[in-house]
Structure 1
């Protein structure tokens, strides 16, 4: 009954907003310089008459285009257009502003001509806008290189993207949500206009997202077909290579894209791991020295077509196919010392292979009723299959015993999802947006362990998870003069069932409200341009591996297993953003996590000498942090300085007492880029991570010093990049856990020091325009 009541009112609210009468007005035009080249990143602000009240604002894109929409009865107004390096102008507002020419602002000092340069970063209404197309980031390489060198963002060697103080973000590309950052692999930094980093996203976005990154790319010309080939060769302890091609075009109202990439990666990773198990009458110390040789090959195929008709409707379809084959071998020397027994010496050798297939089929529809009202619908189906087998040989030198084990793992999942969004202006200064989402995941997992020597079954586990999420939101934006308020409310209902060997372990249903509110004010002061304060409530649901009861066997002394009774983490985010003089911005934040989750080592319930890695909830964790971002641009030099300072407040049980985690930690990023000519540039990048305590884990300090260069020839069609990463080999993440009565840790030496040569050739100056839009984003990420 409650479910029906919720759906009825959601549909009623949605239909009411569609039917609500509203009329949108606009002011639209193009900005260009005296050479008829487009002017990007210009501020265009609309003020009403006769009181000069602020109505709305916009920023011109890479084509110099801007469009300001507003609702109400404004009959007269004027545009205030400004951009660093150009003279500010004021024009009477009208619907079609046409092409507007901006004059260069040139100053002469001791006969040296100095022209204004555009900043790499700007803070606009609490969102950090990173200028890529007009900065050194356009020559960074691929999109991950550009993100890695952007302020406030970290990208590891597995291309995992995080936002400092907020974690893994939701990523949008040209307004469309991506399923996985790996889909960005074929996108080059020269194709990108800007990154927008939202550290406190509103209720419009999924409650699982604590940050949002929006990537805007350049658009291809009409009636053209473009093609690009590229190859990335990486030289490290073992050779790696990636090759791909993109075909893309637009004819009239139809655009299409076909992308293919092939990657072959091999690694050599070393690791020293340890575990100290403190029992009442004895202590067990386990030392493990391992060398691993993982490798994989991956094929990615993506196809998309979009058809516009009657000028207001667009329908599209996308298909994505991915196939990955992996292999790994490892040799480990293990020493187990127990205070009341003789020391045991063991060798543990592993060899395995796996195959993963992902296929996604998606349909989307967009109805642009006018410049301010739109309706968007998305539906998709995804299927994921992951099969692996591993042989483990354990030789005990102390008692001369040999154990051979075969592990067979099979996972199959299906995801059904649908999303609807509607936006419309209402009343005079209010814009509203409403939408809903439904997603269902069906997952089947099987784990079989067999003793190869006697063919006996060690254990078999069949696990089934069914997860459903229903969501609806309502968001309103209010603008009065230079003041803007954004409010939103989102409701998400989750139903989760977990079964193991026909036994129901979890059957839970819960619903949560997620409000959001922000206040922004713009100033005409030369020192302070804007201030924003915001609050959001979010949720971090357990990934399916955290809920699964399937056992992952490491060796005879340790294993990993999920916790079906793990609770989701509810998060309260507070933030304040201050944009000071050009190029400098400050972000202050405080995050409160209730029931934070973490993977840690605990004694096995039946045999405390065996270590079990599983997920547990702590009571609460709080984080206070500050982000400082600054950019400097000159004719021959561009640089950014970004630092984040964080102070946690956490209580962790350890050896019968409570350990308080409260030490400050910080991250420092410095980017320096020097232009030797219009075609050649060199750069130096430095990132430092201080010692850090997060929940029960202590991370040791590390840093990464990288250098490189870029060159363009053949009228910018052929681009060559050379990058030397982590030249001092100091970027490995060393960690140590302290929880309950166990200390565990790792001292890695991964394959992070490498030299990469990238060669790209653009036929007809290829620009990527199509991206995949996925409604089941969060569900696929949780798998």
Structure 2
């Protein structure tokens, strides 16, 4: 390692001493920085080197040639800019002009597609499009290509829940997205195969960039959401900032209050040595929620090369669920019991302390980004169930679960120009502890006292080079993980593990004619979440239990991906090989095996393919988007003693429409359809679809706006899930959440972008909590 560091330092010194640096800043017609602009150097019409601008619109190249050089700067939708290089090498600020062609009295403007491929990301512009008035960041992301709204949960198609960043800072509380206004967003990048700079378990990343800051003084946004989804619900947020010179003070507060409906039915078949048990039960209830979050912090820019900042955030969550569960139990076709359960659950998560501090700076050509995070919170869940049996004994079941979680993390990333590109290196350290104390008043569910201590030391390096038409990036990440599992205060050697892994990544991007394309590879691992590792047995009802598995192994993944973009069309193909994937399995439980326990386990292997394609169009006042996706796995598991293929592909169809009506009114109508598909041993057998509609009107230059929105207008988004296992077969039908209507009022004054540049540390570990 010392030799490698010495070699890197020597290479950097040689580059600095003999290379000539060419630099500049590229902006658009309104002064907004343009990223991923092509910058190419020529010497007497001979290609020398090239690069693209970064997220701030800046570029820097190094060359050994000291003679006369010419720079050619080009970007889709803008006129090409050509300039000779001054002796200083500094081209200053370069303003590109949009391409226009004048024909008599008609002006035809060329507008670049709002979704383009840049490196290994699909980037969608928000500023200046219909997405700018979508509402919040949640509303915007639901309409971004490759992002799917799965029953209120945002997922990247085929990649699950993504990590989300706002201006480089990790979003740890998704309610923060509800406080970011769409009018403040510049663009959104979706990365479906992240490289070595991200933790080995991160399968997808969404990067949100907001518009440049404007002005000093006070600014803020007040937003009020009120509506119905079977029950009344409300969401209220306020975001204020004060800015003077390099100092910015900020604070925000959000409050969400209301009820959710819980309506689902289950049918369960359990095959045992003494016969077949059939169980049917329905859950009818509702959940009351009362959630608050607040943040206060500052950032200070000494100059354009150095800034620091810190913030403190606290969250407060109280949930209360009530309902009834009528059930029937049959043995070999004979009814053996009927019972009703009155359920009363209370859960609290308070307080939740979260602190972040950062330094962002530049020393010469060396860029430095440092973050430190501390997270601590406690959650408590009390469950009461009164079971009234017609043929057996009545009983009352009480369970209590108390969890403590804490995490410290720090991350340092440095980067420096190297030859025709850039070298980036960094380290990340994460230390976590999570404890769970579980008690129950019945013998079928044993008490538990578990603790997990985990430390992760990671180092990574990425080298990006522009070689002719090709932009090549190579990365390598090393992680050393120590996982210690304690039960009743005693270390369990069998469940405790140490991992040492290397994770490579490679991406190659180029442009052939008008087609941009890229090929990406990555090796990753996903360590189980703490809930999946928890060996405590949870009580659902007298015939259904649930538990984790402390012996779970991490999942290893090898992913190969191809992405292409031409004009307003894009496409993606991806193949992933999973080793030791985590899934849910079921087994007979109890003295006679009449009950069922659901537990986590490792699959041996699984092959997975996905494809996604889409296009966007402009037809007068109508702006439609059409996307289609397909997912298919190759997996065979035993069911009722016979092998069963779980390979049926699933299809996704999205049709999104924005119509610009008179009086500057916007109408959005979006539809989505998902066909039957497999996810491990779970078959989503229904065909859920929905239609959402929204109408928006702004007043006083959009400082005041009114939005009326209806979701799932035909109440058709419910889906059925079937879990297939060797001895147990479960069918679940969900009838929630259903249609809703929401009225939003928003007032903005002197709105500016947050200058906070913290990116966070230990981001993947936070999601495991």
Q: Does the aligned pair in 1 maintain the 2:268–2:730 contact within 8 Å?
A: yes
| 1:432 aligned partner | 423
Q: Does 1:587 align with 2:572?
A: yes
Q: Give the distance between the partners of 1:15 and 1:483, measured in 2 at CA.
A: 26
Q: Does 1:705 align with 2:691?
A: yes
1:243 aligns with 2:228: no
Where does residue 627 of structure 2 map in the other structure? 642
Identify the match of residue 471 of structure 2 among 474, 484, 490. Answer: 484
Which among 290, 302, 305 is matched to residue 309 of structure 1?
302
C-alpha spacing 1:163/1:755, structure 2 compared with 1 (3 Å): same
TM-superposition CA deviations, 1:525-550 (whole Å, max 9, x none): 24xx2221111001111000111112
Give the match for residue 105 of structure 1.
Answer: 100
Selected match of 1:535 from 506, 521, 524: 521
Corresponding residue for 1:3?
none
1:519 aligns with 2:523: no
Contact 2:286 2:323 in 1 (8 A): yes
Give distance in 2, aligned partners of 1:642 and 1:54. Answer: 40
Which of 661, 667, 684 matches 1:676?
Answer: 661
8 Å Cα contact 1:568/1:595 also seen in 2: yes
Root-mean-square deviation over aligned CA pairs: 2.5
Does residue 295 (structure 1) correspond to residue 288 (structure 2)? The answer is yes
- For residue 56 of structure 1, report the CA deviation from its aligned partner: 3.5
Q: Is the 8 A contact 1:422 1:433 kept in 2?
A: yes
Structure 1's 575 and 449: CA in aligned 2 closer, same or farther, altered over 3 A?
same
In structure 1, stretches of 5+ residues that fail to align are 1-5
Work out which of the residue numbers 437, 443, 448 in structure 1 matches 2:439.
448
* Residue 203 of structure 1, CA deviation: 1.1
Structure-to-structure mapping, 1:450-465, within 5 angstroms? 450=441, 459-465=446-452
2:154 corresponding residue in structure 1: 161
* Secondary structure of the structure 1 residue equivalent to 2:388: strand
Report the counterpart of residue 501 of structure 1 in structure 2: 488
Kindly state the Cα deviation for residue 318 of structure 1 after the two structures are TM-superposed: 1.5
1:28 equivalent in alignment to 2:24: yes
Matched, 1:96 2:91: yes
Q: 1:351 aligns to what? A: 344
- Answer whether contact 1:256 1:770 (CA < 8 A) is retained: no
Stretch deviating more after TM superposition (724-733 or 42-51): 42-51
**Change beyond 3 A, Cα 1:80–1:447:** same
Contact 2:215–2:752 under 8 Å retained in 1: no
Query: For 2:92 and 2:465, how far apart are their aligned partners in 1?
Result: 25
Structure 2 vs 1, CA of residues 32 and 485 (structure 1 numbering), >3 Å: closer, same or farther? closer
Shift of 1:142: 0.8
Aligned residue number for residue 53 of structure 1: 47
Deviation string, structure 1 residues 374-419 (Cα, Å, up to 9, x no partner): 11221121101001212111111123x2111221110011111111
Cα offset, 1:618, TM superposition: 1.0
For 1:1-35, what per-residue CA distance to the aligned partner results, in whole angstroms no more than 9, with x for missing partners? xxxxx8x78987897788786378343345454xx
Q: Could you list the per-position Cα deviations for residues 430-484 of structure 1 after superposition, in whole angstroms to 9, with x for gaps in the alignment?
A: 4111111111111111111126xxxx99742111111111111111112112112
Deviations 1:493-531 (A, max 9, x none): 1111112224433121111110011112222x24xx222
Cα deviation per residue 1:725-748 (whole Å; 9 max; x = unaligned)? 011111123200001211112101
Which residue of structure 1 aligns with residue 356 of structure 2?
A: 362
Aligned mates of 2:134, 2:509 — CA distance in 1? 33
After superposition, the Cα gap between the structure-2 partners of 1:10 and 1:104, relative to the gap in structure 1 and judged at 3 Å, is closer
C-alpha separation in 2, matches of 1:74 and 1:677: 58
CA distance in 2 between partners of 1:675 and 1:41 (Å): 28
Partners of 1:509 and 1:103 in 2: how far apart?
A: 56
Q: 1:471 aligns with which of 455, 458, 461?
A: 458
1:43 CA drift (Å): 3.9
Task: Please state if 1:738 is matched with 2:724.
Answer: yes
TM-score w.r.t. the length of structure 2 is 0.93
Q: 1:476 to 1:101 in 2, by over 3 A?
A: closer
Alpha-carbon distance change, 381 to 97 in structure 1, aligned in 2, over 3 angstroms:
closer
Secondary structure of the structure 2 residue equivalent to 1:302: strand
> Among 507, 510, 514, which residue is 2:499 paired with?
510
Corresponding residue to 1:234 among 216, 220, 227:
227
List alignment gaps of at least 5 residues for structure 2: none
How many positions carry a matched residue from both structures? Answer: 758
Written as runs of structure 1 = structure 2, the 5 A alignment for 1:125-274 is 125-158=119-152, 160-274=153-267
State which of 622, 626, 635 in structure 1 corresponds to 2:607: 622
Cα distance in 2, alignment partners of residues 17 and 222 from structure 1: 42
Residue in 1 aligned with 2:404?
A: 412
Question: Which residue does 2:734 correspond to in 1?
Answer: 748
Cα contact 1:683–1:707 (8 A) shared by 2? yes
Cα gap change, 1:226/1:276 in structure 2, threshold over 3 Å: closer, same or farther?
Answer: same
Distance apart, 1:155 and its partner CA: 2.7
Distance across 1 between alignment mates of 2:757 and 2:464: 28
Normalising by structure 1, we get a TM-score of 0.92
Distance 2:304 2:96 in 1: 29
Structure 2 counterpart SS, 1:542: coil
Helix, strand or coil at the partner of 2:447? strand
C-alpha contact (below 8 Å) 1:118/1:134 kept by paired residues: no
Q: 1:392 aligns with which of 370, 385, 391?
A: 385
* SS, match of residue 729 in structure 1: coil
